[in-house]
């Protein structure tokens, strides 16, 4: 299931209309419809956070289906394993990833708050 399909499934499973989600999030129902139909790419983190709050899920869970459909086989495992960790171990994982990125001379991905990927709203 793609992220776009996952968005639609989440909305429908909660019995919400596009207009109801618009009222909850401030995101236009036209844009939401385009997202769900795959006419728009994966939403920005800001929009994904708003949708996750409305649907009562996490960005990690939302993106899990999109990652498991990519050529990155470890992505789904990493997200699943991370969500099972204690808060202390999640911080340790974050610190280790930051260390590895620094060692490779790479910066963090452009995410407002990476730890929010796995935090329920």
Confidence of residue 33 (pLDDT cuts 50, 70, 90): very high
Q: What is the mean pLDDT of residues 11-39?
A: 94
The maximal CA–CA distance of the chain, rounded, in angstroms, is 47
Q: Check pLDDT > 80 for residue 93.
A: yes
CB 42 within 8 A of CB 101: no
Give the tens place of pLDDT for each residue, 43-63: 777 888 899 889 888 877 776
DSSP string, 21-37: HHHHH---HHHHHHHHT
Measured between alpha carbons, how far is 109 from 26 in angstroms, rounded to an integer? 26
pLDDT at 47: 87
Kindly list the structural domains of the chain, giving each domain's residue range(s) and its CATH number in brackets, ordered by start: 3-118 (1.10.260.40)
Higher pLDDT: 110 or 28? It is 28
CB 49 within 8 A of CB 121: yes
User: Which residue from 78, 73, 104, 108 is spatially nearest to 93, judged by alpha carbons?
Assistant: 78
CB 21 within 8 A of CB 53: no
H/E element, 102: helix 87-103
pLDDT at 31: 95
Confidence of residue 18 (pLDDT cuts 50, 70, 90): very high
Q: Check pLDDT > 80 for residue 80.
A: no
């Amino acid at each position: 299931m793609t992220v776009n399909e996952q968005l639609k499934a989440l909305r429908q499973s909660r019995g919400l209309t596009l207009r109801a989600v618009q009222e909850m999030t401030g995101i236009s129902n036209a844009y939401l419809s385009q997202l769900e139909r795959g006419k728009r790419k994966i939403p920005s983190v800001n929009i994904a956070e708003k949708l996750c709050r409305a649907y009562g899920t996490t960005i990690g869970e939302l993106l899990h289906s999109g990652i498991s459909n990519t050529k990155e086989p470890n992505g789904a495992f990493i997200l699943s394993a991370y969500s099972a960790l204690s808060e202390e171990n999640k911080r340790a994982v974050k610190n280790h990833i930051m260390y590895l990125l620094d060692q490779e001379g790479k910066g963090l991905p452009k995410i407002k708050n990476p730890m929010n990927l796995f935090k329920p709203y």
